[in-house]
Amino acid sequence: MAVDLYFSDTYAVSRLKFRSLLGMVQQRWPEAEMKSIPCPADKELTTDMIFSQPQREKRHLLLVTTGQHGIEGYAGGAFLQLLVREYLDRLDPELTGLALVHAINPWGMAHRRRVDQDNIDLNRNFILDWSEFEDTNKDYARLRFLLEPGQLQSRGAEQTAFFFRVARALVLAGSSGIKRALTLGQYQFKNGLYYGGSGCQPIVRQLIDLYHRALRDYKQVVHLDIHTGYGPANRMTIVNSPLDRRDTALLKEKLGYDLIVKADPEEFYAIQGDMVDYMCRLGQQHPDTELYSTCLEFGTQGDSTKAMLQSLRALIDENRLWQHGGGDVLQDEAIRKGFTEAYYPVSSFWRQQVAEDARRGLTGILGNERLI
């Protein structure tokens, strides 16, 4: 199967391709089944899951989650195609179970947004105890003039105004402060960027239940969460939780992959309400279960200053378009196109690189974790 055929241009096609994988899984796990969870905002949109239990002993579970940030689910769907079509025969159905999740955020995927129907970033929604949670993002409020500048203006005015706002923000907070304000997640401004909500979203509660059962029932869980956007252009970064105790240098050697970081301010960026962090905290409650939970992040535009400013503006303007509306047809279309390029490039070269790095990551991780 040509790599381009792993990818899809619409949510409906990606879902159809994923559902077609059930028959392939059932050839090796005859009892495998599909579960579909309707989206609260649109029952026609679903989160789909393929489950298959080991035929003899619940020793290993391979858990793959995709589409937490809706638009990033297109690469996630391709990853699931590659995994099933190229790696299924290397797994042992006697001892290994599968839990494959397509489109955690189907509304965002269908509408090519990162957030869900409530403007919530689901990767800031995995809070262990909401009653005790305290938002540590102290920078977002003072940088709202940059991150939430209001109604879109004319194309010429916007270009100049954006750079003036960036310059002001750099004086106030520096580049690290801007990055921290944006990516840490915030819980005050419902129409803002990286809004984490005020309680667990329904799909997050269902996933948390799945994770509890997985860690309770299996001796080993390997969890891969698929994302796009950040990191070097056309490269996959393996992003481990700061709670993961593995030595990064040693892991690079074991996996045969050089681009591995921890999600902390020094190596990547800190996150509140992150799914992988949540899994690692759950893992601490199940010390008898061996857990490796990580994020595979496929970079798009790169990490140069120019690329980061381009991505920042795409994120800000896409949110403004949704929150306040547009009016300039050409500008509105340019914003949508720029946002898509930031998270799901049309380039065949990028897609080829996604597939190549996915193979390297899967071979290294599944081999090191003794699943293949």
Answer yes or no: is pLDDT of 255 > 90. Answer: yes
Report the C-alpha gap between 157 and 271 in whole angstroms: 33
Q: What single string gives the DSSP state of each residue in 34-47?
A: EEEEEETTEEEEEE
Identity (one letter) of the amino acid at 172?
L
Question: 267: pLDDT confidence band, cut at 50, 70 and 90?
Answer: low
Average pLDDT score over residue span 294-310: 94
Name the residue with tokens 């800190």.
270
Question: 1: pLDDT confidence band, cut at 50, 70 and 90?
Answer: low
pLDDT at 265 (0 to 100): 65
Q: CB neighbours of 279 closer than 8 A, spacing ≥ 6?
A: 211, 223, 241, 291, 293
pLDDT at 263 (0 to 100): 81
Answer yes or no: is pLDDT of 338 > 80. Answer: yes
pLDDT at 59 (0 to 100): 98
pLDDT at 283 (0 to 100): 96
Average pLDDT score over residue span 56-76: 98
Beta strands in 250-367 (DSSP E): 260-262, 290-299
Question: 55: pLDDT confidence band, cut at 50, 70 and 90?
Answer: very high
pLDDT tens track for 226-244: 999 999 999 999 999 999 9
Instruction: Convert 267-278 to b/e letters by CB count within 10 Å (16 or more is b).
Output: ebbbbbbbbbbb
